[in-house]
Structure 1
Amino acid sequence: MTTFTDRHGASHPLPAPGAEAQVRADDRGHVFHSWSAQGLIDPLPVAAGEGSTFWDYAGNAYLDFSSQLVNLNLGHQHPDLVAAIQQQAGRLSTIQPAMANDVRGELARLIVEVAPEGFQKVFFTNGGAEANEYAVRMARQSTGRHKVLSMYRSYHGSTATAISLTGDPRRWANGTPDSGAVRFFGPYLYRSPFHAETPEQESERALAHLEQTIQLEGPATIAAIIIETVVGTNGVLVPPPGYLQGVRELCDRYGIVYIADEVMVGFGRLGEWFGIDAYDGRPDLITFAKGVNSGYVPLGGVVISERIAQAFDTTPFAGGLTYSGHPLACAAGVATFEVFRRDGILERVRDLGERIVEPTLRRWVDTHPSVGEVRGRGLFWAVELVRDKETREPLVPFNASGADAAPMGAFAAAAKKAGVWPFTHFNRMHVAPPLVIGEEDLVRGLAVLDEALSVADEHARS
């Protein structure tokens, strides 16, 4: 019998070897996967998970350095979250959102208590894309305007308005189903569209570009600007000094709603309850999902400032969802707050990020010819891989696929073979393990990635 050993040293049986064949057959025969050419993929059957590790059916262990989709903040099978769901299911499995529910109300209160000053209420959704959809709807209904500005390097979800606002190539095949979407260039000093040489220049010039976009589009037509506080999949782009404060000033000047998309960085990823806490951006609406309950049951939402909430005191909000604030999801969310506070999650994320991750990754810039830049905060980092440090030519082209993407595929394969499941996107490798990862596992995982970078180095000019 194949077994796996959990973090407490206990052994657990894995499903019988023949079970993998059935999983593969069912998946390949009947599951339609997202963002994929169905006949060109071979998904890994996963048998079990615990903490920062998951196992395949052969008993191979993988350190989860992507937290699945940067959502598994408290790791696989956290006993407190599992127990909270079980207990809630035994008492009240579901109830419609028009009725009051104890765990829904408690979670809303807990979220508002840790949100920046001036936030009052929470509208719950089933995930991040819906959260952004409804934040935009609130902005439009409260301002009477239609356009929404978003960055080219962004991802806001795959539903109609969310994919229209998304900047990365996943938008291309979907067109722009929401006619109000307008894009602009955000700050990205390493590949500055503004030819800036310092973070301060990048901030100043990016804000000037944004204001010009506002003026050319017509301020009176713009309902909102939506910005990932730290751009996630599209580069872990940390805002330069003063940028988010400048966005706030522009929104005040032109009567625009500022939406902070915190779907990926909220709930501890940067060592803060909300990423915006690290940058003092003061948005009007904050969207969240993923880390609020580690995705154990789908949940997202919008944290609403008092100013926006008041617009709907006597005017009905035109929107709703059957499963808004589902009790099972909210129970896991309440448990998440308890774990964060009891175990000092925010403090440990800041410590591990500053003491282990940042110095390790910065050394790679000196030791690997393929590492052009590293950037990030907490347990959320990007390693930009290049062919040439002087020209900053990416290791693989933008939106590369097939043979063009082979160097990144070879790097990822080397990491997986050594027991670490990485997060890669275009020419970048992201470091985003569960926030509960043990220090020993974190160091070991970084060492594996360090070794795997030798594969990327083969394609770089030293």
Structure 2
Amino acid sequence: MDISIDPVAAVTNDDVKRLDRQGVFHSWSTQGSLDPLVIKSGAGCKLWDFDGREYLDFSSQLVNTNIGHQHPKVIAAIKAQAETLTTIAPAHANLARGEAAARILARAPKGFAKVFFTNAGADANENAIRMARAFTQRDKVLSAYRSYHGSTGSAIAATGDFRRVPNEFARGHVHFFNPFLYRTEFWSRDEEEECARALQHLRRVIECEGPGSIAAILLESIPGTAGVLVPPRGYLQGVRKLADEFGIVLILDEVMAGFGRTGKWLALEHFDVVPDLITFAKGVNSGYVPAGGVMVAQPLSDYFDEHFFYGGLTYSGHPLAMAAIVATLDAMDEEGVVENAASIGSRLLGPGIAALAERHEVIGEVRGLGVFHAIELVSDRQRRTPLGAEQMGRLKRAMVTRGLLPFVVENRIHVVPPCIVTPAEVEQGLAIIDEALSELA
């Protein structure tokens, strides 16, 4: 059956949606009930459909378009690389790949030596786990229940949320509770107590699992999909001390939080902590061409100078993706994009969502850094009862109808616009959220 679109006729939203529903199998979905939003084009923080409808992107898609849509310098770099060399095997030395590694290491903490390139964040975490297991000659990986690390084999097993359960095919994964005072597992009264009790809990998990069996602790610097859970002061430093005490590799997942999202080049800079491996993707080139990777500290890099690394990807360091990384990081540096994210977050976005919490009883808590915030919605503030799925669906529809693309997870609105967002766009987005919350009430 021919399901293509007539090349002469004007394309409509309905045409694109028909093609999609007839041929595309979507991720994390029940296929028969889908009604996807159609998007034709974008620029900066704005997107348009085929009927000319404009949307303000307050989701950064999957929290990845940190530099915004269709940045001209990144588009030009991809085109220039395509004219020179579109693809090359990872065994060869390639200028774009070397330049990308140099740019990334310039933003890494002191003592990082190499970058292993992957295609996305999930396989970055896969390969970081592989490196840790090889380096320590141990098997177990500890990660948090409130986490998301990707949908591939070990990455989804390391993930803590419900999507892990049907996909637990990888071995050696153990979970623990990371700190989250608003929904504390430790009956804590304040951030200091939550931090101390969470670290004691992790120590006991390590002791009970057997320190000599644990290869790595894998943590998001700031858990993103789980709710933008900014860890209490001292927590990541405490995890670093536990890892050192027991000879465990510390992997910090910066896939969502890295490259400007929190108002720093890397989110770990907020916490004065240096891991052994750092995974990244998303914001490193805003997803213009899929790319991710692992930053490798000197001791692990030295180990693999003498030991074979059993890992590889056909498209590791793909030239088009590497050119996009170089152009993205250069443009972010030249245009003060990270500084903009910090300023917008502290002056406008953070205070703006705090003001929403003052006006709307349905908001239980707000939290975040830079352009990485979450609004937690509840049906009862005293009991902190999460707002139900039906009401969250109504709220999302109200925002989209008003021209805002939100990032909605469970009972939360994640307020995560591109790092280039302007004050006027922040005002517009928060006004729409305000109106939608009022309508819900």
Q: What TM-score, normalized by structure 1, do the two folds share?
A: 0.93
8 Å Cα contact 1:259-1:284 kept in structure 2:
yes
In 2: Cα distance, 1:251 partner to 1:21 partner: 54
Conservation of the 8 A alpha-carbon contact between 1:247 and 1:281? no
Distance 1:79 1:380 in 2: 24
Aligned-pair distance for 1:422?
Answer: 0.5
What's the CA shift for 1:310? 1.0
1:105 to 2:106 alignment: no
After superposition, the C-alpha distances for 1:240-284 in whole angstroms (9 at most, x for unaligned) are 010000000000000000000000011000011111011112110
Q: What does residue range 398-413 of structure 1 map to in structure 2 within 5 Å?
A: 405-413=389-397
Are the aligned partners of 1:410 and 1:455 in contact in 2 as well (CA < 8 Å)? no
1:143 aligns with 2:143: no
Aligned ranges for residues 139-288 of structure 1 at < 5 Å?
139-174=132-167, 176-288=168-280
Map of 1:27-426 to 2, 5 A cutoff? 27-174=20-167, 176-396=168-388, 405-426=389-410
Give distance in 2, aligned partners of 1:318 and 1:453: 51
- On the 8 A contact 1:131/1:301 being kept in 2, the answer is yes
Between the aligned partners of 1:195 and 1:365, the Cα distance in structure 2 is: 24
Does structure 2 conserve the Cα–Cα contact (< 8 Å) formed by 1:17 and 1:57?
Answer: no
Deviation, 1:18, is 4.0
Say whether the 8 Å CA contact 1:48–1:54 is kept in structure 2: yes
- In structure 1, what is the equivalent of residue 422 of structure 2? 438
CA shift for structure 1 position 172: 2.0
Question: Residues 67 and 337 of structure 2 are in contact (CA less than 8 Å); yes or no, is this contact kept in structure 1?
Answer: no
Unaligned runs of 5+ in 1: 1-14, 397-404
Residue identity matched to 2:21:
R
Within 2, Cα distance between the matches of 1:442 and 1:81?
A: 24
Alignment-derived partner of residue 5 in structure 1: none
Q: Give the residue type in structure 1 aligned to 2:261.
A: R
Measure how far apart 1:20 and its partner are.
3.0
Range with bigger deviation, 283-292 or 50-59: 50-59
The equivalent residue for 2:432 is 448
Question: CA offsets per residue over residues 298-354 of structure 1, 9 Å max, x none?
Answer: 000000000111111111111000100001001010001111111111111111000
How far does the alpha carbon of each residue in 1:282-302 deviate from its partner, in whole angstroms, 9 at most, with x for none?
110000000000000000000
Between 338-347 and 208-217, the greater mean CA deviation after superposition = 338-347
Residues of 1 paired with 2:15 and 2:395: CA distance? 30
Distance 1:418 1:100 in 2: 49
Query: Structure 1 counterpart of 2:235, which letter?
Result: Y
Local SS of the residue matching 2:231? coil
Q: Report the Cα distance in structure 1 between the residues aligned to 2:392 and 2:9, rounded to whole angstroms.
A: 33
Give the gaps of 5 or more residues in structure 2: 1-7
| Aligned equivalents of 2:435, 2:373: Cα separation in 1 | 18
Q: Quick check: 1:236–1:376 contact (8 Å CA) kept in 2? A: yes
1:217-255 deviation per Cα after TM superposition (whole angstroms, max 9, x unaligned) = 000000000000000011100010100000000000000
Distance 2:239 2:14 in 1: 53
Code of the residue aligned with 2:352 in structure 1: it is: T
Paired with 2:344 and 2:199, the residues of 1 have a C-alpha distance of: 33
Amino acid at match of 1:124: F
In structure 2, what is the Cα distance between the partners aligned to 1:413 and 1:16?
Answer: 30
Q: Out of 131-140 and 342-351, give the one that drifted further.
A: 342-351
Q: Secondary structure at the match of 1:149?
A: strand
- Map Cα deviations across residues 396-415 of structure 1 (whole Å, 9 max, x no partner): 2xxxxxxxx11001111111
Deviation at 1:114, TM superposition (A): 1.1
Once the 2 structures are TM-superposed, how far is the Cα of residue 173 of structure 1 from its aligned partner?
Answer: 2.0
- Which residue in the other structure is 2:4 paired with? none
**1:32 is matched by which residue type in structure 2?**
F
Write the distance in 1 (CA, Å) between the matches of 2:18 and 2:380: 43
Cα RMSD over matched residues? 1.1
- 2:438 and 2:175 mapped to 1: Cα distance? 37
The equivalent residue for 1:400 is none
How many residue pairs match? The answer is: 434
- Whole-Å separation in 1 of the counterparts to 2:16 and 2:359: 42
Report the Cα distance in structure 2 between the residues aligned to 1:289 and 1:57, rounded to whole angstroms.
30
Counterpart check, 1:20 vs 2:8: no
Residue 311 of structure 1 aligns to a residue in which SS? helix
Residues 95-138 of structure 1: per-residue CA shift (max 9 Å, x gap): 11111011100110111111011111000000000000000000
1:152-190, Cα deviation, whole Å (9 max, x unpaired): 01100010000101111111222x111211000000000
Question: Which digits, 9 at most, give the CA deviation of each residue in 1:70-102, with x for residues without a partner?
Answer: 001111111011000000000111111111011
In the TM superposition, residue 17 of structure 1 has moved relative to its aligned partner by: 4.8
Distance in 1 of aligned mates of 2:17 and 2:344: 37
For 2:196 and 2:169, locate their aligned partners in 1 and report how far apart those are by CA, in whole Å.
32
Query: Counterparts of 1:125 and 1:411 in 2: how far apart (Å)?
Result: 37
- How far is the alpha carbon of 1:53 from its aligned partner? 0.8
Using the size of structure 2 for normalisation, the TM-score is 0.97
